């Protein structure tokens, strides 16, 4: 895809450069007609012949303009190292040749020398504001340097340029999507679909960005346009399945997966999504069979293993799930979600020290995943508590609560520590928050009563016991009306 992108830019820029040579450097050509002939050959697409002629002329007379022309001829043929040397020679002879500076920066980026590209193009940013090709490569250099804010700023400059070919917006959007800058890509993609109404890719990328930013309903008509333009586009169909799963439209999701598998039998992503559909439909045995077969083909894909683990849990085959979870921790020792699962399972099995080790490692690895990071810290706080390591557990609980994370369970767990350490006022404050957040959490009222008794507030404690008794009575009445009620499986949101 990138090669196509670069070639489009090169063709556009080469036309401009050839025109510049023909009409702006007449005195240069008058010295050696071979340069003028080389330009004519280049315009006719005979780049190798033009390059040979320019090299011949430069052997007789060294010239900064000649070397910049040679650089561009080499670049147009994707001879990046030769182009780099030619532009450098041009600048040695005339350091003020801005064209050679810009092209050298672009060549650096094409050759993945991003820091060198940045060093040349960043100081020229204000000078290249009307050159979309240079801005594109500067944007890419910023992204590879990790400076996303500057990359977005450059993209906004491009976006405001009304004369830009809409395909340029599409090219920038691809860069942003590769770097997970979905929100930032949406304005550019909106311009792409407006300027390229027959581009299935533009509609697909816009729908993908909307999906990734949680705007499922907004993306559906956009995705439908992509599928009208390219009905058998597998990426678009896969995205449709993912959106249908989010909307719990399982029958349509399954039909769409089966259509993909007719177009591309054995497509691994489709097989994976079929496993998800089967789990959601409760067809656990089929899901396990299909995912096991997929793992035989892709044994080192952690996502497939995690989905199979989810199937075991949903099937309530807990022993199999525990064993598989711990096996995965050995197979993928640096995968944070796998280590998180193993840590929680070890907590359930009472193997607290091992669970602590896995959860500590998860915390270290999950710094860029806020949801997983919070879950791992809370899990670590719990296993530390069970080992009476309160000094380490308390700051983890407090951090989660300050960030409005962990809900009632985190507050209740921390209140238990405060109760054990005699900090009753702190425990009372947390438990009042618990019953505000979860007013039907009956055990919290018993805890409240105990804390209030320790504080000598016996009448308030008695009232909390009464609330507990009322909730007990209501629950008993509800259970009598639902004699066939099944046990609820443990919550497992992150698994």
Question: What's residue 353's pLDDT?
Answer: 97
160: containing domain: 1-164
Q: Is 463 exposed, middle or buried (0-12, 13-18, 19+ CB in 10 A)?
A: middle
How many Å apart are CA 284 and CA 280, to the nearest integer?
9
416-447 confidence digits (pLDDT tens) = 999 999 999 999 999 999 999 999 999 999 99
Record the tokens describing residue 116, joined without a space: 């060198």
CB atoms within 10 A of CB 388: 10
How many Å apart are CA 80 and CA 395, to the nearest integer?
54
195 domain-assigned: no
127 domain-assigned: yes
How many Å apart are CA 448 and CA 430, to the nearest integer?
9
Return the axis-axis angle of helices 2-24 and 33-43, rounded to nearest 10°.
Answer: 140
End-of-domain residue from the set 115, 141, 164: 164
| CATH number (domain holding residue 452) | 1.25.40.10
Question: What's residue 85's pLDDT?
Answer: 96
Question: What's residue 31's pLDDT?
Answer: 64
Record the tokens describing residue 127, joined without a space: 């000078």
7 domain-assigned: yes
282 domain-assigned: no
How many Å apart are CA 261 and CA 280, to the nearest integer?
19
Alpha carbon 413 to its chain's center: 33
Question: What's residue 490's pLDDT?
Answer: 41
Question: What's residue 16's pLDDT?
Answer: 40
> Is the full-model pTM beyond 0.85?
no
Domain count, the chain: 2
End-of-domain residue from the set 164, 196, 228: 164
Record the tokens describing residue 112, joined without a space: 């993945």
Record the tokens describing residue 156, joined without a space: 């906004």
Question: What's residue 460's pLDDT?
Answer: 96
User: DSSP strand E in 387-475: where?
Assistant: none
Of 132, 192, 139, the residue nearest 8 (C-alpha)? 132
Q: What is the DSSP string of 200-259?
A: HHHHHHHHHHHHHTT-HHHHHHHHHHHHHH-TT-HHHHHHHHHHHHHTT-HHHHHHHHHH
Question: What's residue 36's pLDDT?
Answer: 85
Q: Is 115 exposed, middle or buried (0-12, 13-18, 19+ CB in 10 A)?
A: exposed
Question: What's residue 483's pLDDT?
Answer: 54
Q: CA of 441: how far to CAs of 74, 390, 416, in Å? A: 73, 24, 15
How many Å apart are CA 311 and CA 276, to the nearest integer?
9
Low-confidence stretches of the chain (pLDDT < 70) are 1-31, 162-164, 482-495
How many Å apart are CA 418 and CA 338, to the nearest integer?
32
Radius of gyration of the chain (CA): 32
122 domain-assigned: yes
SS3 letters for 37-106?
HHHHHHHCCCHHHHHHHHHHHHHHCCCHHHHHHHHHHHHHCCCHHHHHHHHHHHHHHCCCCHHHHHHHHH
Q: CA of 6: how far to CAs of 101, 134, 168, 239, 363, in Å? A: 18, 11, 11, 27, 41
Question: What's residue 23's pLDDT?
Answer: 36
Residues whose CB falls within 8 Å of the CB of residue 90, separated by 6 or more in sequence, listed in order:
64, 65, 67, 68, 71, 97, 100
Residues whose CB falls within 8 Å of the CB of residue 401, separated by 6 or more in sequence, listed in order:
410, 411, 414, 430
90 domain-assigned: yes
End-of-domain residue from the set 164, 181, 201: 164
Of 242, 198, 6, the residue nearest 110 (C-alpha)? 6
99 domain-assigned: yes
115 domain-assigned: yes
CB atoms within 10 A of CB 297: 11
CB atoms within 10 A of CB 416: 17
Of 264, 286, 267, the residue nearest 276 (C-alpha)? 286
């Amino acid at each position: 895809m990138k090669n196509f992108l670069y070639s489009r830019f090169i063709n556009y820029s080469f036309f401009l450069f050839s025109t510049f040579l023909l009409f702006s450097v007449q005195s240069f050509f008058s010295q050696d007609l071979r340069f003028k002939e080389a330009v004519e050959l280049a315009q006719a697409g005979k780049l190798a012949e033009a390059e040979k002629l320019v090299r011949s002329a430069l052997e007789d007379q060294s010239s900064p303009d000649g070397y910049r022309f040679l650089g561009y001829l080499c670049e147009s043929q994707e001879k990046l190292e030769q182009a780099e040397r030619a532009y450098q020679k041009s600048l040695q002879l005339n350091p003020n040749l801005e064209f050679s500076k810009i092209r050298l920066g672009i060549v650096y980026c094409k050759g993945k020398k991003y820091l060198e590209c940045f060093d040349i193009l960043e100081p020229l940013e204000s000078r290249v504001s009307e050159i979309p090709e240079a801005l594109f490569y500067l944007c890419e250099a910023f992204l590879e340097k990790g400076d996303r804010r500057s990359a977005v700023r450059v993209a906004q400059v491009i976006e405001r340029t009304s004369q830009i070919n809409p395909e340029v917006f599409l090219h920038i959007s691809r860069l942003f999507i590769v770097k997970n800058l979905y929100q930032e890509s949406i304005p550019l993609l909106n311009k792409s679909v407006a300027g390229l109404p027959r581009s299935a890719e533009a509609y697909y990328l816009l729908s993908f960005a909307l999906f990734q930013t949680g705007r499922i309903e907004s993306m559906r008509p956009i995705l439908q346009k992509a599928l009208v333009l390219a009905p058998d586009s597998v990426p678009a169909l896969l995205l449709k399945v993912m959106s249908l799963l989010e909307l719990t439209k399982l029958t349509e999701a399954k039909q769409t997966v089966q259509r993909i598998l007719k177009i591309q039998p054995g497509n691994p992503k489709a097989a994976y999504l079929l496993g998800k559909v089967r789990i959601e439909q409760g067809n656990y045995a089929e899901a396990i069979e299909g995912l096991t077969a997929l793992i035989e083909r892709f044994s080192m894909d952690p996502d497939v293993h995690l989905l199979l683990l989810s199937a075991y849990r949903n099937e309530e085959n807990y022993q199999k799930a525990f064993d598989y979870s711990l096996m995965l921790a050995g197979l993928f020792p640096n995968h944070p979600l796998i280590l998180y699962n193993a840590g929680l399972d070890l907590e359930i099995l009472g193997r607290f020290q091992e669970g602590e080790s896995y959860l500590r490692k998860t915390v270290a690895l999950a710094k860029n995943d806020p949801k997983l990071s919070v879950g791992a810290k809370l899990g670590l706080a719990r296993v530390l508590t069970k080992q009476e390591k309160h000094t380490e557990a308390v700051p983890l609980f407090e951090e989660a609560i300050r960030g409005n994370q962990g809900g009632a369970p985190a507050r209740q767990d921390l209140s238990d520590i405060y109760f054990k350490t005699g900090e009753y006022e702190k425990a009372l404050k947390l438990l009042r928050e618990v019953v505000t957040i979860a007013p039907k959490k009956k055990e919290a009222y018993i805890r409240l009563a105990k804390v209030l008794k320790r504080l000598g507030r016996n009448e308030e404690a008695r009232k909390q016991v009464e609330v507990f008794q009322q909730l007990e009575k209501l629950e008993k009445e509800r259970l009598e009306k639902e004699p066939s009620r099944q046990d609820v499986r443990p919550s497992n949101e992150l698994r």
